[in-house]
Amino acid sequence: MNFAVPFIERAICEIRYPATLTYHQKRLPLCQELIEKKPELAHWTLNLPTINLRDKAQEEDSNKIFSVSSKGSSLLFRNPGVYDNFTALAGYLLIKTTQVLEIENLTRLGVRIIYFNECELKETFDQLKNLLVTRLFNREGIERFGGSIKDIASVVEFEKNKYNFNVRVGPLSPEEIEGKVYKGEKYYVPKEKINPSLLVDVDYFRKNCSSSEIRPTLKKSKSNTQEVLNNILSLLKEEL
């Protein structure tokens, strides 16, 4: 089975940290500074204790949403196009947040990328589902990820080079794609008509690390998640 060039539907970078009272003292000046430096995030809402900054008035229409609270912060970037657009914005927002809130230690630092991989026109949704069952959802297929396998279910978990990976793989029917909703989540779709597609959702993270690891983790995120994606696609493309 052949696939089109993978499309990044969304990229997310999230940090979690111990609850801090400093947040309640500094959230206003922090958000004012972020909006001043990144005016495309001028729309905001406050749902205590979380503040959301975004690029559109309505959250459902927004491509960039930055959330900050007393326990964590994250950037969701839909349809980033050039991946460096995402890493540059996430790096600035999250590092500035840790600096202003005086956060040195993180309980979790992660990057999540959701790839859409469109099949060729001749491929059907049933063919894609059957291929996943025969090629990927078995021990031999799972071992292609490398590292030590921790769990096999709807999500495959493994550990490699001090990072943890949660990988979700599933087929998308044209009806699900055209409805722009899959398993309760709204997705950005690049065009109105799209063939059956493979969704690959890679969550790449580490726990209990320094805030100084934000930039290096972002820098390595595309190559490390792309390696997982390439392993999956190469397995599905192999001749029987």
User: In this structure, is residue 240 part of a structural domain?
Assistant: no
The pLDDT of residue 121 is 62
User: In this structure, is residue 1 part of a structural domain?
Assistant: no
The pLDDT of residue 155 is 72
User: In this structure, is residue 201 part of a structural domain?
Assistant: yes
| Average pLDDT for 136-162 | 65
- Return the percentage of the chain with pLDDT > 90, whole number: 54
Q: Rounded to an integer, what distance in angstroms lies between the CA atom of residue 131 and that of residue 198?
A: 11
| Average pLDDT for 191-205 | 83
Q: Give the predicted TM-score (pTM) of the model.
A: 0.87
Instruction: Tell whether the model's pLDDT for residue 234 goes beyond 80.
Output: yes
Would you place residue 152 in the very low, low, confident or very high pLDDT band (cuts 50, 70, 90)? very low
Would you place residue 143 in the very low, low, confident or very high pLDDT band (cuts 50, 70, 90)? low
The answer to whether residues 234 and 161 touch, using CB atoms and an 8 Å cutoff, is: no
Q: Rounded to an integer, what distance in angstroms lies between the CA atom of residue 77 and that of residue 75?
A: 6
| Averaged pLDDT of the chain | 85
Residue pLDDT, tens place only, 157-169:
889 888 999 998 8
Q: Rounded to an integer, what distance in angstroms lies between the CA atom of residue 63 and that of residue 76?
A: 8
Q: Which domain holds residue 105?
A: 7-235
Closest residue by Cα to residue 233 from 204, 199, 188: 199
Burial group, residue 206, by CB count within 10 angstroms (0-12, 13-18, 19+): middle
Residue pLDDT, tens place only, 36-79:
999 999 999 988 889 999 999 988 889 999 999 999 999 999 98
User: In this structure, is residue 2 part of a structural domain?
Assistant: no
| Average pLDDT for 204-224 | 96
Q: Rounded to an integer, what distance in angstroms lies between the CA atom of residue 99 and that of residue 34?
A: 12
* Count of domains observed in the chain: 1
The answer to whether residues 35 and 93 touch, using CB atoms and an 8 Å cutoff, is: no
Q: Rounded to an integer, what distance in angstroms lies between the CA atom of residue 58 and that of residue 75?
A: 16
Sign of CA dihedral 194, 198, 200, 201: positive
